[in-house]
Structure 1
Amino acid sequence: MEVSRRQAQRPQPIETRAGSGVPRSGGVAARGPWSDSAATGDDLTWFILSAIVGHDESGARVAGERPIILTAAAGGATTALGFPPFDLPWLAPVGLAMLVLALREASATRAALLGAAHAAAFLGMTLWWLAEAISPFAWAAMVAAQSVWGALAGVAMVRVRRLHGWQLWAAGVFTAAESARAAVPWGGVPWGRLGYSAVDAPWSAWVAVIGVAATGTVVALLGCLIASVVEHATRRSLRGLVPAAAVVALVAVPAMARGVLVTPNQATGPVARIAIVQGELPGSGREVVANHRALTEVLVGQTRQLAASDTGRPAPDLVVWPENAMAVDPTTDVVAGQAARAAVEAARAPLLLGAVVDAPDARYALNQSLLWDDGGVRASYTKQRLVPFGEYVPLRPLAERLSSRVAAIPRDMLPGGDPEQIGVGSFSVATALCFDVAYDDVLRRQVARGGDLVSVQTSNAMFLGTAQLEQQWQVSRARALELGRSVVVSSVNGISGAIAPDGSVLERLPVRVAGSVVLDVPLNTSQTWAVRLGAAPLRLTWIIISMALLVTFAQDRRACRRRRRRRRRRRRRLPPTHAGSPPAMPLDRSDAT
């Protein structure tokens, strides 16, 4: 009887059903998808869910499970589908859910690998335009460097999983990692932030309320809640109804309240008459510097043609040319200065043009947007966020030894100071030059100080034919929604157009060919909640996540102390041990042979 009881208490070996990798407990009739009976539709559903999660319906690890790292990588690829050129925003939180499911009960080392795999797959797809436009090596180096933040996020997400309401903490961790990725190193890579994918999603109104960064937290929270629903579903637990209800609320509430939360595309009210001019480059369309004179001539010709076709109508309030419309300083270069004056005379309006201006120190240059009227330059804006290894070279002495291509950037550009909006007549323009638009603070500070209209001038010609153009257009639309301002975009050869304060597209010019358009865009002076809150949501996220991680470390320390106390107590209860071997038993002589 005692032997039978001990055998019953002994753990049963895990057997594998013949012809499948699904384990079942020996001697015990398994339920649901693990039963030996014919699989029903319900069993098949649980089987698929459990295979994704990597656990059986009782919550135990499945022996012989497929490498869960593939789930994390697939999650990264699924998240990338929420961005151009795919534009499937519903899949962004689904990809995050796959990462969360893969991280369940992972060790720190495994969590780092899973987080890095998710980030590498996501960034590898999203930033593929680097390989197409620059080189596969630059793409691989960028993805590898930025995937480190994914690894750290994976470790932190596992740690906060033990806390109550872990879904919110994990979402905050992902947002913190995103903001770090957008800052380090050398200004980081702000492309592919989750908040940008929300532009065409039902939850887009969150962008106008809490901003792009915090909207990324909402998208990540949706992913964590979806993962929680799946986990409860595999256990057939009704507790999954709570996160399911939260998912519905996060999606439905902003969708129903969009008319209240989002700045409307005003049919009546103050407007500005803006002329947007797009250039054209010969050949592949990617060489701006080699063809900068031809580009300027095209822009002057388009401005004259626009003025000739718009006779009988009021002159525009402002003409917008792209970044690098002049690759020389028009205040010192005679030809460039004449071109600017000719455009102003033809349009009978001030001209906002992008130019490379000489800095006071001849070793440096400034990437500026100049407001030019009949009297010359009236105001200027200097680019805030410069592109490393494009507009300046970090660690130049070392870089010159490693690559001869550094010689193509003879002068480093200097970033501008605190940005100020440019006054044009009765309204003011908040200005961003290309890469600036991807950073939260550049335009937000100008709008908070009274910017009525946003201008984005860009020179992304080197990325022609890649997804980078559509991704930057998506970012510009997100800024319109976040700031509650009309956005006019002028590009060297695409994408140029105008965006309404609600993020909808008012006008879009064809890519690659020269073109121009004059249209009335709404002006707005009210501020969205996203502008009022500023960086507060992101800072609060960092504070809360730091406190949550500190709580987990404190829990570990208390657990370690408890283990030490238990070990000391067990040592006190053990009987004393004697040195040497126990004394030998006396030999019974009657047994001797």
Structure 2
Amino acid sequence: MADETVDETRDEDLADLDEQSDVPADDEPEDPVEAGPSRGKLFAAAVGARVTAFGRAWMRAAARQGAAVVGGLALCASFPPWGFWWAAFPALSILGLVLWSSKTTLRGGLGYGLLFGLAFFIPLLPWTGQLVGAVPWLALSLLCATWVALFGLLAVAVRNLPGWPLWFAAAWTATEWGKASVPFGGFPWGRIAFGQGDSPMLSLARYGGAPLVSFAVALGAFAVTALGIEMYRWWRSPSVGPDGARPVPSVLLPGTCVCLVLIAMAVSWQQVRHASHGATDGRTVTVAAVQGNVPRLGLDFNAQRRAVLDYHVKETLVLAQDVKAGKAPAPQFVVWPENSSDIDPIRNADAAEAINEAAQAIGVPILVGGVLRHPDFTPEQPKSINSIIVWDPNSGPGERHDKQIVQPFGEYLPWRSFFAHFSEYADRAGYFVPGDGNGVVTAGGVKIGVATCWEVLFDRALRQSTLNGAEILTVPSNNALFGTAMSEQQLAISKVRAVEHDREVIVVGTTGISAFVSPDGVDAGRTKFFQPAYIDMQVRLHNDLTPATQWGPWVEWALALIAVLAVLASAGLAILHNGGLKRPEREVEPASPIKET
């Protein structure tokens, strides 16, 4: 990947060799002792110089490669379960420094971006291969890393524009949008914003959602890099002028960017803290979330579907007993996790009877995560619907939310006949069909927004629910297949959604984590992993619409458009400067913080 060349060194060495060896044959030196070096020695010196130059070039490239890997690992550390949210700033600063260097070509930008992406996603996503092996995990990591490689390419393309930190940040946000969109509906996991669940930067989600948080973190990091570069140049520059003063470093633009990010963070944080305790209609409700646990982890636990249902019925009966004894407040409705009834309770009388027992014991509606048979079900294509059903203690099943964004390679397999040739697990992928609806159900007189597990990753899911009148949001999940890291990361995503829409978010999983997240992103009453438990808390209902809820997509599109315009402007300037599309000759770069002296 070394993008330095030794062409100039080679030409100089060969020129020296020609000059020193161009001696007439009949001109013998008067003093044999003072004769010049032999051709062999000159050739050896030239080769040595070339080897030295190549070695230096290789070392510089290796240093940049190492920096890219370190940066990717640092960005991974900003996410749960590690949770060092501040690590995102040095991570992106390092990457920005590598890509800013004039020694980094477009091809180098791709390579360094790919290394950064692999170092980031491989340790972030091991839970994806926990049950299906390393190949799908590594393939997914590589696919995600290609988007970071694309960012590296775009960054190198726009780095010569004034204000490069701004264009870098816009390019990063644009590639996050691309990764969240394609292929197969996209994979938003790993957006910078999703690692900022405990960061003051989270407050910006109220005004622009996850895209604005990612943009602000990236802009702050790249602007700090630009400040460091300018200060380094100032320190290394010789004194000039009659007074011997050094030139003033160009810190106005990057300094302004840093200040704007800090001011926006401070102002928005105050607004979030204030809004989380206001902007309601004065109503509060008590809600219970039941985590029933599963009998055994892994894919085989789905074969014990009745046991999973019984566990959730049992824990709900415990809740009902505690309410009757005065140990817990009476809830207005209860939320069960996704797949809490893998047996279709609409078609199976035994499952319906068990759910009725729980609902009648607690005396309020239960949101049941059920797997329903699709009308087009056949033995060859057993199509199903992943549904959250409002189960009334008197009338039984009522309103429901059918999962609209189903997970590729899990709930369904795109190109099934093709991928079946590569993995035996292809036969285990589901046949789930996306549903429709407005993302809202009503239980106990409360309008409840629902994003079932995978759906919470996508901005449009809970935005749709909130725009359709949801007063509280729920994220029923089934993470029994993926372990603790995935659950921690999903909870962090739910924190972003809580601030983004100014709503309480109820996260409930079969095995954990279950938690209540307040509108300022603070989680309360969280459960432990792999233990049956319930949370029974009073929450406030909110009915306002945040700027992110109303205008969030426009913010993301605007940032992506900025990146596109920056690339076009850079290409236009390059054409004007070079007189066409020909590749310019390589120039020697000025001293920089990453160049050896």
Q: Would you say same fold, with TM above 0.5?
A: yes
The amino acid of 1:129's aligned partner reads W
Alignment of 1:230-245 (within 5 A): 230-236=228-234, 238-240=249-251, 242-245=253-256
Whether contact under 8 Å (2:197, 2:496) holds in the other structure is yes
Within the candidate set 285, 288, 291, 1:278 is matched to: 291
The amino acid of 2:401's aligned partner reads Y
Pairing 1:338–2:353 present? yes
Structure 1 moving runs of 4+ over 6 Å: none
In 2: Cα distance, 1:207 partner to 1:460 partner: 25
After superposition, the Cα gap between the structure-2 partners of 1:63 and 1:240, relative to the gap in structure 1 and judged at 3 Å, is farther
After superposition, the Cα gap between the structure-2 partners of 1:280 and 1:246, relative to the gap in structure 1 and judged at 3 Å, is same
In 1: Cα distance, 2:249 partner to 2:569 partner: 29
- The alignment partner of 1:503 has SS state of coil
Count of aligned pairs between the two proteins: 506
In 1: Cα distance, 2:284 partner to 2:250 partner: 52
The amino acid of 1:436's aligned partner reads E
Whether contact under 8 Å (2:204, 2:268) holds in the other structure is no
Whether contact under 8 Å (1:285, 1:462) holds in the other structure is yes
Q: Which position in structure 2 is the counterpart of 1:348?
A: 363
C-alpha displacement of 1:295: 1.1
C-alpha displacement of 1:256: 4.9
Which has the bigger relative contact order, CA under 8 A and spacing at least 6?
A: 2
Whether contact under 8 Å (1:315, 1:348) holds in the other structure is no
Whether contact under 8 Å (2:207, 2:552) holds in the other structure is no
- The alignment partner of 1:235 has SS state of helix
Pairing 1:325–2:343 present? no
Q: Which position in structure 1 is the counterpart of 2:47?
A: none
C-alpha displacement of 1:302: 0.8
C-alpha displacement of 1:289: 0.7
C-alpha displacement of 1:441: 0.5
Whether contact under 8 Å (1:499, 1:506) holds in the other structure is yes
After superposition, the Cα gap between the structure-2 partners of 1:246 and 1:376, relative to the gap in structure 1 and judged at 3 Å, is same
In 2: Cα distance, 1:359 partner to 1:450 partner: 28
C-alpha displacement of 1:444: 0.7
In 2: Cα distance, 1:406 partner to 1:550 partner: 42
Within the candidate set 471, 479, 489, 1:460 is matched to: 479
The amino acid of 1:398's aligned partner reads F
C-alpha displacement of 1:71: 0.9
TM-score by length of structure 1 reads 0.81
Whether contact under 8 Å (2:208, 2:551) holds in the other structure is yes
Taking only aligned residues, the RMSD between alpha carbons, in angstroms, comes to: 2.3
Q: Which position in structure 1 is the counterpart of 2:426?
A: 406
Alignment of 1:336-485 (within 5 A): 336-362=351-377, 363=381, 364-373=383-392, 374-409=394-429, 411-464=430-483, 466-485=484-503
Whether contact under 8 Å (1:112, 1:154) holds in the other structure is yes
Pairing 1:100–2:96 present? yes
Q: Which position in structure 1 is the counterpart of 2:536?
A: 518
In 1: Cα distance, 2:492 partner to 2:94 partner: 25
In 2: Cα distance, 1:257 partner to 1:140 partner: 38
Q: Which position in structure 2 is the counterpart of 1:84?
A: 80
Within the candidate set 234, 258, 283, 1:247 is matched to: 258
Q: Which position in structure 2 is the counterpart of 1:65?
A: 60
Within the candidate set 504, 522, 547, 1:486 is matched to: 504
Within the candidate set 295, 310, 313, 1:297 is matched to: 310
After superposition, the Cα gap between the structure-2 partners of 1:549 and 1:253, relative to the gap in structure 1 and judged at 3 Å, is closer
The amino acid of 1:113's aligned partner reads G
Whether contact under 8 Å (1:419, 1:442) holds in the other structure is no
The amino acid of 1:155's aligned partner reads L
Within the candidate set 196, 208, 212, 1:214 is matched to: 212
Q: Which position in structure 2 is the counterpart of 1:495?
A: 513
Greater alpha carbon shift after TM alignment, 98-107 vs 279-288: 279-288
Within the candidate set 532, 546, 553, 2:571 is matched to: 553
In 2: Cα distance, 1:487 partner to 1:562 partner: 55
C-alpha displacement of 1:261: 3.9
In 1: Cα distance, 2:313 partner to 2:61 partner: 61
- The alignment partner of 2:368 has SS state of strand
C-alpha displacement of 1:403: 2.7
